[in-house]
Structure 1
Amino acid sequence: MQLQSIDKQLYRSRLNIVIVACIVSLSVSSLAISQSLISFFPSETGSHFHWNLLGVVVSALGLGFSLLKLKTHPKMKEVVYVWLLKKELNLIYRKNRKLQAAAEQGNADAMLALQFSYEGSRQLWQLDDNTIVMTSLNAAQSKLDGLIEEYNLQLDISNYQSGLLRQF
């Protein structure tokens, strides 16, 4: 995965549209399905929990399928990019302890993965206006910069690929 430049305003507006569309479609379709099932198969006891649950499950599955089909749409480009970036950062986070240990031993791939993680996190947090934790990110970046200088490495995050994480 490569980091891309994303227009923050465009991303936020498209994300808001996706969120509202998901909420509305999930609400409307789950109610429509459950009410249809209740009208076709009424219960003498008056409990329709299972029909309501089935309506929500079917609606959630339909929404998930729709999002998978729509993820290649041009208007979803920024939202899908951020979803993929979050997925990649999560993969790196799960290996963070091993990456930190390998980076301290001078492993260039570990340092490259950490550099990608820090750059990606910085971009993600700026897109989501989550700048509160930037001080901890800057401290981790400074530590990594010290290791890069100590081992005299040149890192280019455009060389990062998730396959690098298999060795950790």
Structure 2
Amino acid sequence: MQLIKIDKALYRSRLNMVIVACIASLAISSLAISQTLIYLFPDESGSHFHWNLLGVIVSTVGLVATLLKLKTHPKMREVAYIWDLKQALNLIYRKNRKLLAAAKEGNADAMLALQFSYAGSRQLWQLDDNTITMSSLNDAQSKLDEWTQQYNVTLDITNYRSESLKAF
């Protein structure tokens, strides 16, 4: 995955549209499904929990399938990119302890994965206005910069490939 520049206003606008559409479609479809099932199969005791639950489950599955299908639509580009970026950062985060240990020992692939993680996190946090934890990110970046100087490593995040994480 490569980092791309995202227009913050456009991203926020499209993300809000996706969130509202998801909430509306989930509410409407789950109610429609559950009410149809309750009408077709009424329960004498008056408990319709199972029909309501089934309506929510079917609606959720349909919504996820729709989002996956629409992921490649041009209007979903920014939202899908952030979705993919979060998944890529999560893969790195799961191996963070091993990556830090390897980077401390001079492993260039570990340093590259950490650099990608820091750059991706910075972009994500700026898009989401999450600047509270930026100081900890800057501290981690400073430590990584020390290691790159110590081991004379040049990092270019365009060379990062998630497959390199398998070594850790």
Output the TM-score relative to the length of structure 2: 1.00
> In structure 1, what is the equivalent of residue 116 of structure 2?
116
- Name the amino acid aligned to 2:52: N
> In structure 2, what is the equivalent of residue 99 of structure 1?
99
Q: Gaps spanning 5+ residues in structure 2: where? A: none
How many residues are matched?
Answer: 168
For residues 154 and 167 of structure 2, the distance between their equivalents in structure 1, rounded to whole angstroms, comes to 20
Deviation of the 1:116 alpha carbon: 0.2
Give secondary structure in 2 for the equivalent of 1:122. Answer: helix
C-alpha offsets along residues 60-115 of structure 1, whole Å, 9 cap, x if unaligned?
00000000110010000000000000000000000000000000110000000000
For residues 57 and 163 of structure 1, the distance between their equivalents in structure 2, rounded to whole angstroms, comes to 34
For residues 30 and 128 of structure 1, the distance between their equivalents in structure 2, rounded to whole angstroms, comes to 30
Give secondary structure in 1 for the equivalent of 2:72. Answer: coil
> In structure 1, what is the equivalent of residue 7 of structure 2?
7
Give secondary structure in 2 for the equivalent of 1:45. Answer: coil
C-alpha offsets along residues 3-42 of structure 1, whole Å, 9 cap, x if unaligned?
0000000000000000000000000000000000000000
- Name the amino acid aligned to 1:38: I
> In structure 1, what is the equivalent of residue 149 of structure 2?
149
CA RMSD across the alignment: 0.3
1:37 aligns with 2:45: no
For residues 90 and 69 of structure 1, the distance between their equivalents in structure 2, rounded to whole angstroms, comes to 23
Provide runs of 4+ in structure 1 moved above 2 Å.
none
Q: What does residue range 1-168 of structure 1 map to in structure 2 within 5 Å?
A: 1-168=1-168
C-alpha offsets along residues 116-135 of structure 1, whole Å, 9 cap, x if unaligned?
00000000000000000000
Give secondary structure in 2 for the equivalent of 1:145. Answer: helix
- What percent identity do the matched residue pairs reach? 74
Q: Gaps spanning 5+ residues in structure 1: where? A: none
Deviation of the 1:150 alpha carbon: 0.2
